[in-house]
Chain A
Amino acid sequence: MGEEIKVIVFKLGEEEYGVEVEKVQSIERMVPITRVPRTYDFVKGVFNMRGVVIPVIDLRGRFGLSEAEYTDQTRIIIVAVGEMQVGFIVDSANDVIDLNTDNIETPPEVVGGVKAKYLRGVAKIGEERLLIMLNLSEVLNRSEMNQLEGLED
């Protein structure tokens, strides 16, 4: 038997993604972001979350998807992995669901263009919905990014 987990659901385009609720610190509306020069393209900059400076990355950019205009629905999801705090810009976030880990299947090779290693699995909810569970530590893995982007620390 798998365990029940709570998952925050957010959207990038038509895809629905999920992250465990305990990794999410807060969900913010779009705020002014200070650009940080000479960093990765998908790093939109930093913003002030109640006195703490937090880097914000555009998740579409991170996954190599085409970037979208920010709207009223756009949210910044603040996640914490280890000592890292990062904000993800997503198209919208408005759902929290319960999920049994048994329902998470290993991801197929290609899902919506996002590399499989970023994914923890795919969960089927009801008849129609597919939820893509993110592997946050891979998403935030910098060493792999440095190779990808040809950037140096």
Chain B
Amino acid sequence: MDMNQYLNMFIDESNDHLQSLNEKMLQLESSPTDLGIVQVIFRSAHTLKGMAATMGFEDLASLTHQMENVLDLVRNNKLAMQEFIFDTFFKGLDALESMVQNITEGGDGKADVSSIVASLQSIVRGDFQKSGTDAVTEAVTPKKAADSESAGLVLDQFQYSVLEQSISEGHRVHYIQVTISSESQLKAARAFMVFNTLENSGEIVKAYPSVQDIEQEKFEQNFSLYYITQKEVGELEKEIAGISEIESVSVVQLDQESLKQMSEVKAGLAESAAVQEAPVAVQQQSAASQPQSPTAASGAKPADGKAQVAKPAAPTHNRTIRVDIERLDVLMNLFSELLIDRVRLEQLASEASNPALTETVEHMSRVSSDLQNVVLKLRMVPVDTVFNRFPRMVRDLAKSLDKKLDLVITGADTEMDRTVIDEIGDPLVHLLRNSVDHGIEPVATRIAAGKPETGTVHLRAFHSGNNVFIEIEDDGSGINREKVLKSAISKGIMTEEQAAAMSDEEAHQVLFAPGFSTAEVISDVSGRGVGLDVVKSKITSLGGNVTIHSVLGKGTNFSVQLPLTLSIIAAMMIQIGSEKYAIPLSSIVETAIVKRTQIRSVHGNKMIAFRESHIPLISLSQLFEVPDFNEDEEEETEVVVIRKGDRLAALSVQDFLGQSEIVLKNLGKYLPNIQGISGATILGDGQVALIIDPNVFIK
């Protein structure tokens, strides 16, 4: 069967599952006893495992399988979730993610996950607890040489039940420890002889080190094993001791009780060593036991397991289809062509003044507006798709910085255009990092400041007019104006005089200056050479804006304002001389006509009275050096009052042409960023009109 056609589906679904696993793990972390969540995680992991196995991604499948084993214990109340398990799981999820990423990039999804597998196995065996955190850390970074003298072996559930059953069926179960003479040149061969001898009259259930390791001489002098046979202890001892170069052999017959004790006591000693010494060995061990363990898992509770697996498939199969974003882009482009023609048709119809034509065109206009809504909605995605990776990121950040904090997300269902969503992720990551790293103080500082030791970062999204706002607010230390300005001066961004004259708000904006960073110590998180200036320019390039509001000691609020969509906007068309421009409706407060006599001059700047205050009047024709228009010759001036935040300004123009839906186009890579121009659009007559970016007119 050709798997390629399923590959995309596999990748999409795997990503979905990984995402949900990440989310649910975070949920579980905050309420570790909620078995309902464990069930959901288990199902997700199980589905993922199944898919990976079907597609032949063995490493992926086996890692998920190990995770599943742990989850199985948890959901059956045999194991309580705790920090080490969470950490291991998150590492596992990261590994899975990079495997899927690798597959996405055309790789085979192979990865060395032995240390994670080892940790997971140690969790299943339960020895990570007994050996304490030391062993746990060691499990992740195996360095210390293990004292394998006392190392025994630990049984997994399946092996344990096999042995238990054998005893109850009247077989003898022995725990055998063999030490080979240190003189021996052929340890592996001797060991092989022992195994051979034993296998003649019984079955070896488990050996430590694993059979593979023993074959490769990856052991010191001794090894141990569980053995089921009919033979007596003495008989066995004699047989093994008969093999040359065997220094000592001890055989202990186990009954139910001692078996139980063995598997528990040995757990702590043995596997911590095993894990420390050779994580690879452990992985191989698992490979050796693999043919058995799946049977164990499914054999144990077949009915249970299936019922649980069958269910989860349902919610993922909701009535949606996945559409390649490129196809939507094509649809969008075609639609914009249609929109241009529509405007042209409207013009022609009004000129022709034929009632039938006018009616048809009007109908077409209505249909195309509806169509436009549909097309735009198709491209709308909840910001959730960006937000969902943040809880995990913030958790890891907080951990690595040793801070305590809660991330509170609201408005994750707020929808935005896909093109904006795709671009906004990185800037938000930066802002969040900034909040966690620079904003939220270390626990000790917080307590000293009389704040709760756990900091809070709010991540909010909401609609407002034609914009989406995303706010990141922390209750951290706030921005220290003096520090910021001092740093800015020392970096040559501004002079002391400039700094002194700045309002707090302006001082905060300095954070966005290129090359600026307040981090005194370059931490793991900040100091990657990318500053907030990049964030600012990214957001600006999306037609958005970012502002900072901060109170020293209380916290900081970054507010990102973004357009709903980047493709089609409502705009006011204006004319200056022979040139036409579009001003986005979203920034227009109102239009007005002022007499020249109403224009005052304040400090050399033109101002007009507007709603009981004076606002600056900016001449577009002068600013853009329009060759064939001079407003000074006019009696009255048409003005467009624009707004940025709570500030207003008026742009003087020659004529209003009316409102129109315009399709945004960029000016191409060649042209530099032109102040005051955010792009271009194509008019009904095929001409290009420039789109004015009102934001730059209000400083």
User: In the assembled complex, which residues on chain B have CB atoms less than 8 Å from the CB atom of A151?
Assistant: 672
Cβ-defined partner of B670 (8 Å) among A35, A51, A86, A146: A86
User: A85 — which chain B residues lie within 8 A by C-beta?
Assistant: 668-670
Task: Determine the residue in chain A with the shortest Cβ distance to B337.
Answer: A51
- Per-residue contact bits, chain B 638-672, to A (CB 8 Å; 1 contact, 0 not): 00000000000000000000000000011111111
Q: A34-B680, A84-B668, A153-B672 are in contact. Are A53 and B337 (CB under 8 A)?
A: no
Given contact pairs A51-B336, A53-B680, A37 touches B625 in the complex (Cβ within 8 A)? yes
The answer to whether B667 and A53 have CB atoms under 8 Å apart is: yes
Is the C-beta of A129 less than 8 angstroms from some C-beta in chain B? no
Main secondary structure of the interface of B (DSSP, over half): loop
Complex Cα spacing A4 to B348, Å = 51
In the complex, chain A residues whose CB is within 8 Å of the CB of B687? 32, 34, 48
**Interchain CB contact under 8 A, B579 and A34:** yes
Residue B53 is within 8 A (CB to CB) of chain A in the complex: no
Interface string of A58-100 (1 = CB under 8 A from B): 0000000000000000000000001111100000000000000
- Asked if B569 is an interface residue, CB under 8 A from chain A, the answer is no
**When chains A and B are docked, how far (Å) is the Cα of A140 from the Cα of B672?**
12
Which residue of chain B is the closest to A43 with respect to CB atoms?
Answer: B671
- Whether A84 contacts B670 by the Cβ 8 Å rule is yes
Q: Which residues 333-358 of B have a CB within 8 angstroms of A? A: 333, 336-337, 340
A47 within 8 A of B: yes
**Cross-chain contact B689 with A34 (CB below 8 angstroms):** yes
Q: Is B32 an interface residue (CB 8 A)?
A: no
**What residues of B have a CB within 8 angstroms of the CB of A142 in the complex?**
670, 672
**What distance in Å separates the Cβ of A34 from its nearest Cβ neighbour in chain B?**
4
Contact partner of B674 (CB less than 8 A), chosen from A39, A51, A54, A140, is A39
Query: In the docked arrangement, what's the CA distance between A22 and B242, Å?
Result: 83
Which residue of B337, B623, B627, B667 is within 8 Å of A46 (Cβ)?
B667
- Residue of B623, B625, B669 near A83 (CB, 8 A) is B669
Residue of A nearest to B663 (CB): A51
Q: Which residues of A contact B665 (CB under 8 A)?
A: 52-53
A142 and B669 alpha carbons, distance in the complex (Å):
10
Interface residues of A in 128-152 (CB under 8 A from B): 140, 142, 146, 151-152
> Complex formed: what's the CA distance from A54 to B688 in Å?
10
A6 to chain B, nearest CB (A): 24
Question: Is B673 positioned at the interface, with any CB of A under 8 Å from its CB?
Answer: yes
A48 to B336, CA, bound (A): 13
Check B668–A46 contact: CB distance below 8 A: yes
Contacts of B669 in A (CB 8 A): 82-85
A151–B337 Cα gap in the complex (Å)?
Answer: 35
Is B668 a contact partner of A51 (Cβ separation < 8 A)? no
B336-A55 in contact (CB<8A): no
Q: B507 on the interface (CB 8 Å rule)?
A: no
Interface residue B63 (Cβ < 8 Å from any Cβ of A)? no
A-B contact count (CB 8 A): 81
Query: A54, B668: Cβ atoms under 8 Å?
Result: yes
In whole angstroms, what is the CA distance A32 to B688 when docked?
9
Tell whether B675 is near chain A: CB-to-CB under 8 Å: yes
0/1 string, B668-699, CB within 8 A of A gives 1: 11111111110010100011111000000000
B315-347 interface (Cβ within 8 A of A): 333, 336-337, 340
B670 lies within 8 A of A48 (CB): no
Contacts of B192 in A (CB 8 A): none
B333 to chain A: which residues have CB within 8 Å? 51
**B336 (CB) vs chain A CBs: closest residue:** A51
Nearest-Cβ distance from residue A30 to partner chain B, whole angstroms: 14
Q: How far is the CA of A39 from the CA of B666 in the complex (A)?
A: 15
For residue B677, which residues in chain A have a CB less than 8 angstroms away from its CB?
36-38
* Most A Cβ at <10 Å: residue of B666, B670, B676, B677: B670
Nearest CB of A to B606, in Å:
19
Q: For B686, list chain A residues within 8 Å (CB).
A: 48
Supposing A46-B668, A53-B682 touch, asked if A34 and B690 sit within 8 A by C-beta, the answer is yes
Find chain B residues with CB under 8 A from A39 CB. 671-672, 674
User: Within 8 Å CB of B688, what residues of A?
Assistant: 34, 45-48, 53
Are B680 and A38 within 8 A (Cβ)?
no
Within 23-38 of A, Cβ neighbours of B (below 8 Å) are at 32, 34-38
From residue B583, how far is it (CB to closest CB) to chain A in Å?
Answer: 15
Q: Which residues of A contact B340 (CB under 8 A)?
A: 51
**A86–B671 Cα gap in the complex (Å)?**
9
Chain B residues with CB below 8 A from A34, complex form: 579, 680, 687-690
B610 at the interface (CB under 8 A from A): no
Give the one of A45, A51, A85 with max B CB within 10 A: A51
Chain A: which residue is nearest B665 at the CB level? A53
Shortest distance from the beta carbon of B338 to any chain A beta carbon, whole Å: 11
A26 to B231, CA, bound (A): 91
Instruction: Tell me the nearest residue of chain A to B334, going by C-beta.
Output: A51
Cα of A37 to Cα of B620 in the assembled complex, Å: 11
Q: How far is the CB of A130 from chain B (nearest CB, A)?
A: 29
A35 touches B668 (CB 8 A): no
User: When the two chains form their complex, are residues A37 and B623 in contact, meaning their CB atoms are under 8 A apart?
Assistant: yes
Q: Which residues of A contact B624 (CB under 8 A)?
A: 37-38
14 intermolecular pairs with C-beta atoms under 8 Å apart: A34-B689, A35-B579, A35-B627, A36-B674, A37-B623, A37-B625, A37-B674, A48-B682, A48-B688, A53-B667, A83-B669, A85-B670, A152-B672, A153-B673
Contact residues of B with A, CB < 8 Å?
Answer: 333, 336-337, 340, 579, 623-627, 665-677, 680, 682, 686-690
In the complex, the 10 A-B pairs of residues with the closest C-beta atoms, listed nearest first: A37-B624, A34-B688, A53-B665, A84-B669, A53-B680, A153-B672, A55-B670, A86-B670, A48-B682, A84-B670
Inter-chain pairs besides A53-B667, A86-B670, 16 sampled, C-beta below 8 Å: A32-B687, A34-B689, A39-B674, A43-B671, A46-B667, A46-B668, A48-B686, A51-B336, A51-B337, A51-B682, A53-B668, A53-B688, A55-B667, A55-B670, A84-B670, A152-B672
